[in-house]
Amino acid sequence: MLNKNTLGEALGNLGIKPTLDEKHNKSIYLHFEIIMVLLTSTFLTLLSWAAVISAATVNVVKKDCTLMTGAELGARQFWSLPSPAVSPQAHNAIDAAALADHGDHSHNLVVNDPDFPGSPANVCDNLATGTVWVEYNDRVDGHFKWAYSMDAILTPEERTVA
């Protein structure tokens, strides 16, 4: 917050001579503060809009590509994907605990997950590319989700979509 001394210095630096009249100084001080508040408010509004615009990502489809569908994913044997990035031990422990405690576990494969619009799965010239999400649901232990980059873990032959 500005005080009279810093306001006088700021005005002096701008070539404005502050008057000795106390009432006049208070008026200048008040106007200066109002202008600063308005400028700060405008800056923060612009910054907020920039953040909203940059966060509003949309599924990115590469040129000459289409977003992959669940049917196209189902046409391939993606069940043989390697252990998730959380580590094979963690994945096996989750499966073993669910089977031992509840006897119920399921895996769902998801493409173009709406929770992660910046990680799409595409089909480009009959070749799958992008991200596949694997969801693990358990009645007690909860919901886990991890992702695979098809480009990194599958060969082009394995990514071919008929």
**Chunked mean pLDDT (size 10), the chain, 162 residues:** 60 63 61 75 75 60 72 52 43 52 58 81 84 72 75 78 68
DSSP string across the chain: ---HHHHHHHHHHTTPPPPS-HHHHHHHHHHHHHHHHHHHHHHHHHHHHHHHHHH-------TTEEEPPHHHHHTS-GGGPPPPTT-HHHHHHHHHHHHHHTS--EEEEEES-TT-TTS-EEEETTEEEEEEEEEEEETTTEEEEEEEEHHHHS-TTTTB--
Q: Is residue 159 part of a domain?
A: no
For the chain, the domain total comes to 2
pTM reported for the whole predicted model: 0.42
Let me know whether 84 and 146 are in one domain: yes
pLDDT at 87: 42
Let me know whether 40 and 72 are in one domain: no
Let me know whether 84 and 136 are in one domain: yes
Q: Is residue 28 part of a domain?
A: yes
pLDDT at 66: 84
Let me know whether 73 and 143 are in one domain: yes
Q: Is residue 60 part of a domain?
A: no
For residue 34, give its domain range: 4-55
